[in-house]
Amino acid sequence: MAAPALHAVILAGGAGERFWPASRQRFPKPFLQVVGGRTLLAATLERARRFAARDRVWVVCGREHAAAVRRATRLPAARVLAEPRRRNTAMAVAFAAQHIAARDPDAVLAILPADHHIPDARAFASAIRKAAAAARDRASLVTLGVKPTRADTGYGYIQVGAAADRRHPGLRCARRFVEKPDAARARRYLKRGDYLWNAGIFVFTARAILEETQRCAPELHRALGPLRRAPRARSGAPLERAYRAAPSLPLDVAILERSRRVWTLPVAFHWSDVGTWLSLAEELGVRPGRTRVLDGELLFDEGRGNLVWGDRRAVALLGVEGMAVIDTGDVLLVTKLDRSPDVRAVVASLKRRGRRDVL
Amino acid sequence: MAAPALHAVILAGGAGERFWPASRQRFPKPFLQVVGGRTLLAATLERARRFAARDRVWVVCGREHAAAVRRATRLPAARVLAEPRRRNTAMAVAFAAQHIAARDPDAVLAILPADHHIPDARAFASAIRKAAAAARDRASLVTLGVKPTRADTGYGYIQVGAAADRRHPGLRCARRFVEKPDAARARRYLKRGDYLWNAGIFVFTARAILEETQRCAPELHRALGPLRRAPRARSGAPLERAYRAAPSLPLDVAILERSRRVWTLPVAFHWSDVGTWLSLAEELGVRPGRTRVLDGELLFDEGRGNLVWGDRRAVALLGVEGMAVIDTGDVLLVTKLDRSPDVRAVVASLKRRGRRDVL
C-alpha cells in the first residue's frame, strides 16, 4: 500500500500589519518581494513543491486575494480556498482539513505560512517528510521547532520534553507553548536549550486535526457543521455560515496548547518569520555601518545601519542610524528599527480613524 | 532739494544649498513658501515696497532664474539684473550699485537678501529709513545688527563700539565682524551684549560702496571696468567680461571688514535667515512634543518634535524625534535636525558625482 499522500496547505491569510505601509489590505505581505529575489508566496510555493505533488498544493487566503493568488501561483481555482472573512489560522486549517479530507480521507497536511523566509528549501522538505512520517505513524500533531540562534523576544517558544520513539529520531514531546517572552526570559530559554522557536509550521493528518478540533475546540467544531454536511463546498452558503460562526483563534491557542497528541520536531535550518522591518533588516544584513536598500536609490547615507525601501524616489540620509525608511507611492513611514514591532499601533490608529485609503 | 532716493536691491542669487532637496538649482530657496504663507521672495518684495517706490525695487539673480523672478515679482526686465555667473554678494552689490548709479548718481541702496524671514515689515522699514538717513549724512556703510535672542552658532556676529552722533541715535561704530562662533563663544557674545547678529542687510549710497570697492577690493574694482565704460549695460559683452574677472567674495569679507566707514544700526525685530531645516523648524515652533508639517499629511507621529515636508504623500513617524523629513517629488531627505547644517555636504557629494538630476 502506498503511503498516504502529503499535501501542502499554504496559509496566505495574514495581514502582515507590521509590514505596513508596504503590506496593504489589497496587497498583503506574501505578495512582497523582500528577500531572496522573489515574493514570499512564490518562495513558499517552491518549498512546498519539494515534498508535495502539484495537485496537492493548496492555498488558503482571503476571498479578496484569491484572484491574485491564482495569478501568482498558477494554481487552479479548485486549490485556492477563499475565506469569506478572516478568522485566524485555526479556522483556516480546519476549513482546509475538512475540504481535503472529503477528497483524500488519509491526507497528511503540512501547514506553511506564506510569508516566512527559509532559504534552505532542501533541509525544509526533509524536515517536513520526517514530520509527516511521524504524524502518520503516531496520528499526532507535529510542530516544527527551530533551534534559537539568539534571545529573540519576537517569537513564541515551545518547550520540548522527552524523545518520542526510536522510529522517529529527534521527535520530542511538546511540553508547553509560551508566548513571546521578555528579554530576560528569552536569554534563559536560549541558555537552557530545551526551548525552540514556534515556527507556525505544522504537520498532521487531516483526520487527526479534525478529531483534535472536536476535542479541544468544540466551538470551532460546531462552526464546521455546515461544511461537514456539504463536504465539497468551497464557497456559497455552507462556507458563509461556517465562517460566520467560527471563533477567531490561532491554531496554537485553539488546539495545539490543549491537545495531548502534540510532538515537536527540532530543526536547525535558518528560519525567519520576517515579521517586522527589524527582522527583515536582520535578514538583509543591516548592521551598524551597513545600510540595505530594497528598490529605490540611496543618494547619501552618512549614518548607515538603515533599511531603505525607496519606491522610485532617491533617498538621502544624514545623521540617521538604525532606522527604516519605507516609501511606497502614497505613504512614507520613518521608524526606528527597534520600534518597528509597534507599526501595528500605527495600523490600529488608522483603522480607528477609518483611513481605508492608506490601509 | 528732495532727499536722495532710496532703492531696494534684493539679492536672490543664493543657492540655499542647505535647504536641499526643497531648494534646487532650478528652483532655489527664495521661491519656496516655507513660512508666513507666501514665498520668501514675495515677502522680501513686500518689505521693500514699504520704503522704496515700485520703480526703485531691483532684484539681482542668476540669469537662469531671471524669467522666474520677473514672473514672481512682476518687475520689468530692466529691474531684474541677471548675473551671467554666480560671483557671491560683493560682485552682485557692485553690479547693482554701478548700474543704478548710472541712472541715479545719488541713489541710496538698501541691500536685502531674498530668503530671510522678518515678520515685522513695519519695524524693518523704519530701521531701513534710519539707516538710509545715516548712510546719506555720513557717507557711510550701515549694516543692520540684530540683537541676539540666543547663543546661535549659525550666524556671524558684529561687535559694536561707540555711538555715532546725536543726529543718528542708536547708530554704533562696527568694531569687528566675526565668523560663526563655537558654542562657548556664542554664549559669551550673548552675555556681553555688544555682539549683534550680522543679518546681511546693508544700507549705503551707491557712491560710497563704489568708492569703498575701489579702496578695499581693488580686484573687484578692476573687474567692474567694462561696466564703468558701458554704464547702462545689463547684459552682453561688458557684463560677461566683468563677471569673468570678478572674484567670488561675500560683501562682508571683500569690503565691510576692511572699510573704515562701517557703522551698525542695532535692531531688535525678529529676524531669521532660515538657513537650515533646523532654523526653519525653530521658526515654525517645532519643539519636543510638537511636530510641524509643511504640505503633505501627517498620518501618525508618536515621536513628535519633527519637521515634515510631505509633498503629496502621507507620512507616518514612529519612534522618531528631532528629525526633518523632506519629501519632494523625486527625492527624500531624512536628517536629524541638529545635523541639518551638513546638508551642504550632501549637496557637495552630489555635485562631485555629477548628479545634476537631483541638484
pLDDT tens track for B2-12: 677 999 999 99
Q: Per the CB < 8 Å rule, is B315 touching A332?
A: yes
Amino acid at A121: A
- Asked whether the beta carbons of A302 and A286 are under 8 A apart, the reply is no
Is the preceding omega at residue A148 within 30 degrees of 0, hence cis? Answer: no
> Which residues on chain A are in Cβ contact (under 8 Å) with B358?
299, 314
Q: Per the CB < 8 Å rule, is B338 touching A319?
A: yes
Chain A nearest C-alpha distance from B335 (Å): 5
Residue A164 pLDDT greater than 80, yes or no: no
φ and ψ at B95, to 5 degrees? -60, -50
> Which residues on chain A are in Cβ contact (under 8 Å) with B334?
315-318, 320, 323, 325, 334
CA–CA distance, A118 with A133 (Å, rounded to integer)? 21
Helical residues (DSSP H) of chain A, grouped into ranges: 40-49, 66-73, 88-103, 121-138, 183-192, 206-216, 218-223, 225-229, 237-245, 251, 277-283, 343-352
- Asked whether the beta carbons of B273 and B199 are under 8 A apart, the reply is yes
CA–CA distance, B95 with B105 (Å, rounded to integer)? 14
CB-CB neighbours of B25 under 10 Å = 17
Q: Can you give the pLDDT at residue B156?
A: 94
Residue A146 pLDDT greater than 50, yes or no: yes
Residue B47 pLDDT greater than 60, yes or no: yes
Q: Which of B316, B335, B358 faces A314 most closely, judged by CB atoms?
A: B358
Pick the residue from chain A with its C-alpha nearest to B355.
A299
DSSP at B357: G
Amino acid at A136: R
Q: Which residues contact A64 (CB under 8 A, 6 or more apart)?
A: A25, A26
Q: Per the CB < 8 Å rule, is B320 touching A332?
A: no
CA–CA distance, B20 with A299 (Å, rounded to integer)? 13
Q: Can you give the pLDDT at residue B312?
A: 79
Helical residues (DSSP H) of chain B, grouped into ranges: 40-49, 66-73, 88-103, 121-138, 183-192, 206-216, 218-223, 225-229, 237-245, 251, 277-283, 343-352
Residue B185 pLDDT greater than 60, yes or no: yes
CA–CA distance, A346 with B132 (Å, rounded to integer)? 57
Residue A168 pLDDT greater than 80, yes or no: yes
Residue A328 pLDDT greater than 50, yes or no: yes
Cβ within 8 Å of B, A 279-338: 299-300, 302, 310, 313-320, 323, 325, 327, 329-336, 338
> Which residues on chain A are in Cβ contact (under 8 Å) with B320?
323, 334-336
> Is CATH 3.90.550.10 the right assignment for the domain spanning B6-267?
yes
Q: Averaged over B109-138, what is the pLDDT?
A: 96
Task: Answer left, alpha or beta for residue B253, where phi above 0 means left and psi between -120 and 50 means alpha.
Answer: alpha
> Residue B1: which pLDDT band, with cuts at 50, 70 and 90?
very low
Chain B nearest C-alpha distance from A17 (Å): 14
Nearest CA among A73, A68, A87 for reference residue A28: A68
Pick the most confident of A26-40, A48-62, A286-300.
Answer: A48-62
Q: Averaged over B98-102, what is the pLDDT?
A: 96
Residue A217 pLDDT greater than 90, yes or no: yes
Domain segments of chain A as ranges? 6-267, 277-358
| Interface with chain B: mutation pick from A23, A277, A299, highest number of B CBs within 10 Å | A299
CA–CA distance, B321 with A336 (Å, rounded to integer)? 10
Pick the residue from chain B with its C-alpha nearest to A359.
B299
Q: Can you give the pLDDT at residue B2?
A: 62
Q: Can you give the pLDDT at residue B37?
A: 84
Q: Can you give the pLDDT at residue B353?
A: 94
- Asked whether the beta carbons of A197 and A136 are under 8 A apart, the reply is no
> Which residues on chain B are in Cβ contact (under 8 Å) with A320?
323, 334-336
3-state secondary structure A67-127: HHHHHHHCCCHHHEEEECCCCHHHHHHHHHHHHHHHHCCCCEEEEEECCCECCCHHHHHHH
Q: Averaged over A164-189, what is the pLDDT?
A: 92
> Which residues on chain A are in Cβ contact (under 8 Å) with B327?
313, 332
Q: Can you give the pLDDT at residue B61?
A: 97
Task: Quote the mean pLDDT of chain A.
Answer: 94
Q: Averaged over B298-302, what is the pLDDT?
A: 89
Q: Which of B313, B319, B350 faces A299 most closely, judged by CB atoms?
A: B350
Q: Can you give the pLDDT at residue B34?
A: 87
CA–CA distance, A211 with A141 (Å, rounded to integer)? 11
- Asked whether the beta carbons of A197 and A181 are under 8 A apart, the reply is no
Q: Can you give the pLDDT at residue A37?
A: 84
Residue A1 pLDDT greater than 50, yes or no: no
Q: Can you give the pLDDT at residue B336?
A: 95
Q: Which of B315, B335, B355 faces A319 most closely, judged by CB atoms?
A: B335
C-alpha distances in Å from residue A242, one per residue of A9, A213, A223, A253: 19, 14, 5, 19
Q: Per the CB < 8 Å rule, is A318 touching B338?
A: no
Q: Can you give the pLDDT at residue B304?
A: 82
pTM of the model: 0.88
- Per residue in A11-40, pLDDT (tens digit) is 998 888 999 999 999 899 999 998 888 999
- Per residue in B304-354, pLDDT (tens digit) is 899 999 877 899 999 999 999 999 989 999 999 999 989 999 999 999 999
CA–CA distance, B143 with B111 (Å, rounded to integer)? 9
Specify the 3-state DSSP secondary structure of B83.
strand
Q: Averaged over A314-325, what is the pLDDT?
A: 94
Q: Per the CB < 8 Å rule, is B334 touching A327?
A: no
Residue A165 pLDDT greater than 90, yes or no: no
Q: Averaged over A289-303, what is the pLDDT?
A: 88
Q: Averaged over A278-291, what is the pLDDT?
A: 92
C-alpha distances in Å from residue A92, one per residue of A11, A25, A42, A289: 7, 18, 20, 42
Q: Averaged over B103-128, what is the pLDDT?
A: 96
- Per residue in A245-284, pLDDT (tens digit) is 999 999 999 999 999 999 999 999 999 999 999 999 999 9
